[in-house]
Chain A
């Protein structure tokens, strides 16, 4: 038997009511047995749909097809453009609009090989994470939070290790796109610098071992089936020190 308030109870459950109305419904739920039961039913249907019914993720094949058809649409560019500048952080610190910085810092670079393509993609993903307010999806310095989060959101679940004895602080993780791959990204801070560590299932594609573009360093390595690349504008020795810590932790 449904109460006349059933529709508002549903809206309350879906977070669609103004706070004043929510209070009215909360009071109503205290003494209406039918609506209290409705809330329990809504919750169990939601739990079933979110936890037990399949969420179908796009396959890598579909992702590839989509990238290819979009690639076919965009006009071929003679030169690749990269966002970059070693003083990037100062700009952020000074509070300039990120888009204005991005526009002002467009640099044209000739990059012929596929390794360079990947380096450019990694660098773009790194810069994108800094300008788009999408640095982290899961904010945590706890490796037991970050690693399981990847299990539900990315194709790989790289070690998200915190190194409390070092200057590298684990700040969280996110999912990003590099060269058509869905990559798990572990984010560290080293002083004022952000270090993005991208990881995806290793395949035949060549990742650069160590390269520098406009003041940003990219260091890649493979461990088992995992391809990893660390990107930052921190000093190269400091970037390599982190990759060494990560390699050691991967055994």
Chain B
């Protein structure tokens, strides 16, 4: 195995899950996410010789995001897919969430709430909370100033909290 490939497998491949999770949340489609990640990994490999930084993960996620944007210039935005938990029962009365253990149903509904947050807010939320990246890294990946990252993050968190509270209160009213 040549040196470049060995280095790439050692440094970039461990972030494949992060790349896929990010692409999956950007596209909200498993099929599209896989295509984007494959394309991104190939582009990353081709430009790996030119990579001089030490932190591979933000660099790789920037490429994933660029691939996503390129592919979306060609295709219309996808609706929230069934796979994100958009089941028809979503608007039905739920039992009191406080009494419910974390069930598959609960996970599906939370996934849907996150999936319906607009893209520019959703991406900072995923990068901060799931990938544990710093504001600086998120600013680099999304190509926005740190101040914008902070305000979008605050807005994304508030949206999720409000959406979740609405559900909790809706469920309480339904129970009463």
Contact = CB atoms under 8 A, between A and B. Distances in A.
Interface of A: 6-7, 10-11, 14, 16, 41-42, 44-46, 48-59, 61-63, 65-66, 69-71, 73-75, 77, 80-81, 124, 128, 132, 175, 177
Given A48-B160, A53-B111, A58-B37, A10 B6 contact: no
B94 to A, nearest CB: 15
A73 B134 contact: no
Nearest to A73: B45
A16 B125 CA distance: 15
B46 A65 contact: no
Interface stretch (B14-22, B51-59, B65-73, B74-82): B14-22
Contacts of A61: 34
Contact of B130 (A44, A49, A66, A71): A49
A7 B125 CA distance: 15
A74 B6 CA distance: 10
Given A66-B37, A69-B42, A132-B10, A77 B17 contact: no
Contact of A56 (B33, B102, B150, B157): B33
B171 interface: no
Given A69-B42, A132-B10, A74 B2 contact: yes
A156 B175 CA distance: 42
Contact of B1 (A49, A54, A66, A81): A81
How big is the B interface, by class? 35 or more
A191 to B, nearest CB: 27
Interface of B: 1-6, 8-10, 13-14, 16-17, 19-21, 24-25, 30, 33-34, 37-38, 41-42, 45-46, 102, 106-107, 110-111, 114, 125, 128-130, 134-135, 150-151, 153-154, 157, 160-161, 164
Contacts of A55: 17, 21, 130
B20 A62 contact: yes
Nearest to A11: B150
A236 B12 CA distance: 33
Contacts of A177: 9, 13-14
Nearest to A176: B14
B17 A57 contact: yes
A59 to B, nearest CB: 8
B150 A58 contact: no
> Interface centre among A53, A61, A81, by most B CB within 10 Å?
A53
A128 B42 CA distance: 23
Contacts of B37: 58, 62, 66
A97 to B, nearest CB: 16
Given A53-B107, A58-B37, A46 B129 contact: yes
A63 B16 contact: yes
Contacts of B21: 55-57
B16 A66 contact: yes
Contact of A48 (B5, B33, B45, B110): B110
Contacts of B1: 74, 77, 80-81, 124
A142 to B, nearest CB: 25
Contact of A58 (B6, B19, B135): B19
B20 A57 contact: yes
